[in-house]
């Protein structure tokens, strides 16, 4: 596979304060520098800024699928937008579960909706290749930054100290990719900077061996990663390594056959006490366009950053998640976006986990303006307060200078606490789009007008409630920088998940965890969500699985969670279109592992396919 990096423009280059022009060549799994003036060659590293450039590429690859945005794809056979790391994680972690479904019939994508995939699935090949590519890039960076190499280039002591941190970050990102490969595909090769450069067949290792390698790496990184919150926002520190350790310990029974719940609880405690804090802000603000500065950043341990002005055109990352979740009668501008791609909706069973709606309100449209809710304020599609420009000038009670607050529970509109008439008189005839359902739990952000709860036809966007959890509108209701590429950061790791992992480890019997402490953590989460608090008697494994879904939905955890709880395949948990049938059927337990992609086995015939494929 030949890859070219050229004129990469990305927000991390702004964060790191550099610009870059890169080219390179790789084989299937290992970065192989050319002998001339190219990326990762000796000549390339004569420039002291080159070390930050490679680190930037490692971070950038989490969002975009190529260079110059998606323009030059990293993965052969898949375009840059389809091979974005975050997009592929979303595809594999969400569409395969009860949380999400996508309408598109692109290639083999529909088989992920129905758990009917095969080794020829190009999205699984893209996921395997993306993680392997990141590992290869990290390996070559580590080869090029040894003490011997740096001394031979005359690198000064100050830059050496920075490079030591860069190396630790590269090792973490490599470990992150190995965790994804281990989680999805099981037995995979391990390659490091100690392996030869060039063509060879990496040896496939057992899942337990990969687990042991990752555990060793993450524990060792505690000596070299920056202390908590001392690195730049969006870059890795010690706490991210502890968090990833907690994740693999909680899943250790799946990966190795041996429970490590006590270790999981210990790591969660260290994460919780690290200096990152639970963000006591409206849940909506965690996923808004200014979540890097509205208080949410205090909770984010490992965000994948999005920036509308710094990222070149891309269909990956948050651009994919937001665009694809808009369709039907939805107003894209209300989400701060330039349009919808009519793709992703929630499945019926996920909506049901929040219970019955607690109320509803009329959803109107007039003169191309949708009256929607944003942070509790009735606004039009332009993000402005509902005022006289949206109705007859003579209608009493409405003034352009006033803000009319909408109460989600009562369905009443108030001005300074006094109820005012509902919108009925407009300059042009209003069109009712239907009732918007609302739930007492403030974490369910769904769009229901014109959407059916049941998914009768997967390919019809209006079958299934739409989700508006992520928004490209700031928490104060103002617009983001652009409408084509959002500013909204994706929270890969956050403190709330550490609370939930701790509680789960406690229920599973971890000696280092306390049930009372776990209940306290859960109640902090539920209080922010406007959900009733619980007692120790409520804290069961079934409750925790449901609560993880309610809190962390669409954050790329669901497949892993369902497998850990024994509910991804089989018949213990059924959802619409599981197994390819509308009402859902049991699927084979062999699908708890994805197949090793056929193209990957063709490239390395020493690999053995997973059972059942």
Per-residue pLDDT tens digits for 115-144: 999 999 999 999 999 999 999 999 999 999
**In whole angstroms, what is the distance from residue 488 CA to residue 490 CA?**
7
- At residue 535, the pLDDT reads 98
Strands 369-370 and 372-374: unpaired
Residue 108: CATH number of its domain: 1.25.40.390
* Residue whose structure tokens are 């790329």: 556
Is pLDDT at 274 greater than 70 in this prediction?
Answer: yes
Instruction: Grade residue 564 by pLDDT with cuts at 50, 70 and 90.
Output: very high
Instruction: Grade residue 345 by pLDDT with cuts at 50, 70 and 90.
Output: very high
Higher pLDDT, 260 or 376: 260
β-sheet bridge partners, residue 431: 365
Which tokens hold the place of 341? 């791609």
Which tokens hold the place of 103? 């309408």
Domain range for residue 237?
Answer: 11-275
Position 347 in a domain: no
Position 139 in a domain: yes
**In whole angstroms, what is the distance from residue 351 CA to residue 99 CA?**
8
Is pLDDT at 389 greater than 50 in this prediction?
Answer: no
% the chain with pLDDT above 70: 80
Segment among 126-130, 349-353, 436-440, 563-567 with least mean pLDDT: 436-440
- At residue 381, the pLDDT reads 44
Which tokens hold the place of 282? 């409206």
Is pLDDT at 314 greater than 70 in this prediction?
Answer: yes
pLDDT (tens digit, 9 = 90+) per residue, 378-388? 544 444 445 44
* Residue whose structure tokens are 């701060």: 336
Is pLDDT at 410 greater than 70 in this prediction?
Answer: no
Q: Please report, in angstroms and rounded to a whole number, the separation of the first and last CA atoms in the chain.
A: 25
- At residue 315, the pLDDT reads 87
**Averaged over 567-581, what is the pLDDT?**
97
Is pLDDT at 488 greater than 70 in this prediction?
Answer: yes
* Residue whose structure tokens are 């190219």: 38
Total residue length of the chain: 613
β-sheet bridge partners, residue 413: 406, 420
**In whole angstroms, what is the distance from residue 198 CA to residue 128 CA?**
19
Using CA atoms, how far residue 292 sits from 56, 60, 244, 336, 430, in Å, is 19, 17, 21, 17, 38
Which tokens hold the place of 121? 């699935």
Burial of 300 (0-12, 13-18, 19+ CB in 10 A): buried
Residue 342 near residue 101 (C-beta atoms within 8 A): no
**In whole angstroms, what is the distance from residue 302 CA to residue 304 CA?**
7
β-sheet bridge partners, residue 491: 303
Give the total number of structural domains in the chain.
Answer: 1
**Averaged over 566-578, what is the pLDDT?**
97
**In whole angstroms, what is the distance from residue 334 CA to residue 336 CA?**
5
Residue 210 near residue 217 (C-beta atoms within 8 A): no
Residue 607 near residue 596 (C-beta atoms within 8 A): yes
Query: 554: which residues sit within 8 A by CB, 6+ positions away?
Result: 90, 94, 99, 100, 321, 467, 469, 470
pLDDT (tens digit, 9 = 90+) per residue, 84-104? 999 999 999 999 999 999 999
- At residue 110, the pLDDT reads 98
| Of residues 362, 492, 352, 351, the one with CA closest to residue 434 | 362
- At residue 563, the pLDDT reads 98
- List of E strands, 288-417: 300-304, 344-345, 359-366, 369-370, 372-374, 377-379, 405-406, 413-415
- List of E strands, 74-136: 101-102
CA dihedral 339, 342, 344, 350 (to 10 degrees): 110
Q: C-alpha 144: how far from its chain's center?
A: 31
Is pLDDT at 151 greater than 80 in this prediction?
Answer: yes
Residue 479 near residue 374 (C-beta atoms within 8 A): no
For residue 539, the tally of other CB atoms under 10 A from its CB is 19
pLDDT (tens digit, 9 = 90+) per residue, 495-539? 999 999 999 999 999 999 999 999 999 999 999 999 999 999 999
Position 513 in a domain: no
Position 362 in a domain: no
DSSP 33: -
Instruction: Calculate Rg over the CA atoms of the chain.
Output: 25
Give, in degrees to the nearest 5, the angle at Cα 222 between 216 and 227.
160
Residue 128 near residue 120 (C-beta atoms within 8 A): no
**In whole angstroms, what is the distance from residue 16 CA to residue 226 CA?**
16
Instruction: Grade residue 436 by pLDDT with cuts at 50, 70 and 90.
Output: confident
Position 112 in a domain: yes
**In whole angstroms, what is the distance from residue 483 CA to residue 384 CA?**
16
**Averaged over 301-313, what is the pLDDT?**
89
Task: Report phi then psi at 363, rounded to 5.
Answer: -115, 110
Higher pLDDT, 361 or 163: 163
The model's pTM is 0.89
Using CA atoms, how far residue 34 sits from 9, 28, 30, 41, 316, in Å, is 23, 15, 13, 7, 29
Instruction: Grade residue 15 by pLDDT with cuts at 50, 70 and 90.
Output: very low
Beta-sheet strand order (sheet of 369-370): 369-370, 359-366, 431-438
For residue 290, the tally of other CB atoms under 10 A from its CB is 19
DSSP 578: G
Count Cβ neighbours within 10 Å for each residue of 38-67 and write b for 16 or more, e otherwise: bbbbeebbeeeebbbbbbbbbbbbbbbbbb
| Of residues 396, 438, 437, 442, the one with CA closest to residue 418 | 396
Average pLDDT, rounded, for the chain: 86
- At residue 392, the pLDDT reads 36
Using CA atoms, how far residue 37 sits from 21, 30, 34, 48, 287, in Å, is 12, 19, 8, 15, 43
Residue 328 near residue 466 (C-beta atoms within 8 A): yes
Position 17 in a domain: yes
**In whole angstroms, what is the distance from residue 486 CA to residue 467 CA?**
16
- At residue 445, the pLDDT reads 92
Position 158 in a domain: yes
**In whole angstroms, what is the distance from residue 496 CA to residue 470 CA?**
17
β-sheet bridge partners, residue 361: 436
Task: Report phi then psi at 573, rounded to 5.
Answer: -140, 120
């Amino acid at each position: 596979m030949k890859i070219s990096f050229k004129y990469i423009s990305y927000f991390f280059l702004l964060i790191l304060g550099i610009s870059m022009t890169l080219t390179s060549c790789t084989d299937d799994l290992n970065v192989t520098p050319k002998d001339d003036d190219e990326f990762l060659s000796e000549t390339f590293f004569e420039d002291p800024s080159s070390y930050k450039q490679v680190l930037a590429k490692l971070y950038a690859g989490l969002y975009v699928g190529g260079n110059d945005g998606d323009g030059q794809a990293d993965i052969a056979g898949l375009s840059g937008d389809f091979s974005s790391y975050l997009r592929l994680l979303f595809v594999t972690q969400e569409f395969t579960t009860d949380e999400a479904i996508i309408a598109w019939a692109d290639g083999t994508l529909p088989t992920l909706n129905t758990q009917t995939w095969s080794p020829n699935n190009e999205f699984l090949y893209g996921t395997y290749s993306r993680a392997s590519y990141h590992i290869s890039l990290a390996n070559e960076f580590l080869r090029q930054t040894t003490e011997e190499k740096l001394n031979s280039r005359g690198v000064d002591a100050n830059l050496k100290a920075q490079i030591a941190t860069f190396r630790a970050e590269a090792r973490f990102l490599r470990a992150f990719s190995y965790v994804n490969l281990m989680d999805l595909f099981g037995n995979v090769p391990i390659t490091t900077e100690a392996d030869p450069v060039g063509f060879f067949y990496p040896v496939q290792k057992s899942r337990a061996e990969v687990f042991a390698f990752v555990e060793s790496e993450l524990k060792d990184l505690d000596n070299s990663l920056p202390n908590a919150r001392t690195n730049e926002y969006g870059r890795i520190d010690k706490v991210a390594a502890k968090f990833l350790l907690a994740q693999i310990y909680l899943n250790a029974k799946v990966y190795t056959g041996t429970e490590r719940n006590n270790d999981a609880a210990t790591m969660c405690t260290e994460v919780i006490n690290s200096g990152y804090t639970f963000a006591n802000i409206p849940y909506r603000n965690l996923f808004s366009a200014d979540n890097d500065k509205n208080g949410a950043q205090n909770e984010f341990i490992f965000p994948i950053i999005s920036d509308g002005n710094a990222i070149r055109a891309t269909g990956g990352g948050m651009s994919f998640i937001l665009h694809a979740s808009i369709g039907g009668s939805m107003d894209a501008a209300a989400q701060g976006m330039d349009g919808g791609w009519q793709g992703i909706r929630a499945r019926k069973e996920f909506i049901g986990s929040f219970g019955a709606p607690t109320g509803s309100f009329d959803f109107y449209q007039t003169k191309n303006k949708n009256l929607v809710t944003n942070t509790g304020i009735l606004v039009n599609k332009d993000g402005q307060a509902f005022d006289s420009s949206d109705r007859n000038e003579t209608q009493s009670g409405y003034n352009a200078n006033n803000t009319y607050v909408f109460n989600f529970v009562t369905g009443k509109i108030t001005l300074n606490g006094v109820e005012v008439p509902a919108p009925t008189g407009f300059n042009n005839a209003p069109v009712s789009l239907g009732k918007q359902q609302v739930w007492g739990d403030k974490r369910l952000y769904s769009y229901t007008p014109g959407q059916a709860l049941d998914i009768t036809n997967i390919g019809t966007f209006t079958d299934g409630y739409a989700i508006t959890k992520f928004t490209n509108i700031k928490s104060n209701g103002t617009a983001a920088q652009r409408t084509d590429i959002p500013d909204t950061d994706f929270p890969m790791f956050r403190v709330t998940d550490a609370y939930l992992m701790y509680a789960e480890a406690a229920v599973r019997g971890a000696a280092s965890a306390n049930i009372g402490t776990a209940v306290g953590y859960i109640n902090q989460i539920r209080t922010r969500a406007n959900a009733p608090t619980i007692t120790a008697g409520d804290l069961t494994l079934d409750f925790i699985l449901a609560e993880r879904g309610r809190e962390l939905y669409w954050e790329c955890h669901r497949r892993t969670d369902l497998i850990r709880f024994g509910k991804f395949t089989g018949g213990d948990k059924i959802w619409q279109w599981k197994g390819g049938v509308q009402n859902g059927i049991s699927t084979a337990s062999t699908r708890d592992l994805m197949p090793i992609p056929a193209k990957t086995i063709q490239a390395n015939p020493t690999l053995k396919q997973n059972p059942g494929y």
